[in-house]
């Protein structure tokens, strides 16, 4: 949500808490969620990129890369994700396995904001390693030891599961959550009950206001 929309959202919640009580807030949140769980939402959101594909590995790769680039202003995220999709010639798995990324992503020049071309090459190397040994990223996670999907993915990706890892959690939601026009529900061997909402400053503020 944009800052103006966030403020309106919080104001509306506070007004409903005062006027109608907690049940009204819950119903309001459900209606608000339904506003974004529609096919119309996809075309305005970064999730549109993995939705271009049908093969599981292509969806996983596009989804992971798109989620990784999902920070900053939405229009800029969409531009960066579109540029990446073009570089991959709209064939994510084939591009990863071709190792063409070694040529396309080289040097410390920025690809998107603070993400350098070298950083992108590191991610492609990681993806190449995964799909060289597994048919899907879900298979790789199942071999990554115990714990929640987030703990497994953080272990596999080599980052701490003590940090919010908002982008990774968003990717997991796309892959695991079912009964949604927006999310894919591809990873059937993990339960949506295992997903978490990472708490950052903005999410925490809204949560405290809902108490």
- pLDDT per residue as tens digits for the range 139-191: 999 999 899 999 999 999 999 999 989 999 999 999 999 988 999 999 999 99
The answer to whether residues 46 and 31 touch, using CB atoms and an 8 Å cutoff, is: no
Mean pLDDT, range 27-48, rounded to an integer: 87
Q: Are strands 110-112 and 115-116 parallel, antiparallel or unpaired?
A: antiparallel
pLDDT at 9 over 90: no
Whether the pLDDT of residue 48 is over 70: the answer is: yes
Question: Residue 159's CB: how many other CB atoms inside 10 A?
Answer: 12
Place of tokens 């071309």: 117
Confidence (pLDDT) at 29: 78
Distance CA 114, CA 116 (A): 6
pLDDT at 205: 79
Angle formed at CA 148 by CA 176 and CA 91, multiple of 5 degrees = 40
> Looking at residue 13, what is its pLDDT?
58
**pLDDT (0 to 100) of residue 10:** 62
| Residue 19 pLDDT > 70 | no
Q: State the CB neighbour count (10 A cutoff) for residue 142.
A: 15
| Mean pLDDT within 55-62 | 98
Q: How confident is the model at residue 2 (pLDDT cuts 50, 70, 90)?
A: low
Average pLDDT, the chain: 90
Check: CB of residue 202 under 8 Å from CB of residue 7: no
Q: Give this prediction's pTM.
A: 0.87
Instruction: Using alpha carbons, select from 119, 133, 141, 152 the residue that is nearest to residue 187.
Output: 141
Which range, of 28-37, 61-70, 124-133, 182-191, averages the lowest pLDDT? 28-37
Q: How confident is the model at residue 193 (pLDDT cuts 50, 70, 90)?
A: very high
pLDDT band at 89 (very low <50, low <70, confident <90, very high): very high
């Amino acid at each position: 949500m944009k800052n103006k929309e966030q403020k309106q959202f919080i104001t509306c919640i506070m007004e409903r808490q005062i006027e109608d009580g907690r049940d009204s807030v819950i119903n309001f949140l459900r209606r608000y969620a339904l506003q974004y769980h529609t096919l119309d939402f996809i075309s305005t959101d970064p999730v549109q990129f993995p939705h271009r594909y049908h093969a599981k590995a292509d969806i996983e790769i596009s989804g992971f890369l798109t989620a990784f680039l999902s920070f900053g202003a939405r229009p800029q995220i969409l531009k960066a994700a579109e540029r990446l999709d073009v570089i991959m010639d709209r064939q994510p798995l084939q591009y990863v396995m071709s190792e063409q990324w070694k040529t396309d992503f080289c040097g410390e020049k920025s690809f998107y904001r603070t993400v350098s071309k070298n950083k992108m090459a590191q991610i492609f190397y990681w993806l190449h390693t995964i799909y060289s040994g597994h048919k899907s990223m879900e298979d790789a996670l199942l071999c990554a030891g115990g714990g929640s999907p987030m703990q497994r993915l953080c272990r596999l990706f080599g980052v701490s599961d003590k940090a919010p890892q908002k982008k990774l959690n968003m990717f997991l939601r796309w892959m695991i959550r079912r009964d949604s026009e927006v999310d894919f529900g591809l990873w059937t061997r993990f339960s949506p009950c295992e997903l978490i909402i990472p708490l950052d400053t903005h999410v925490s503020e809204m949560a405290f206001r809902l108490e």
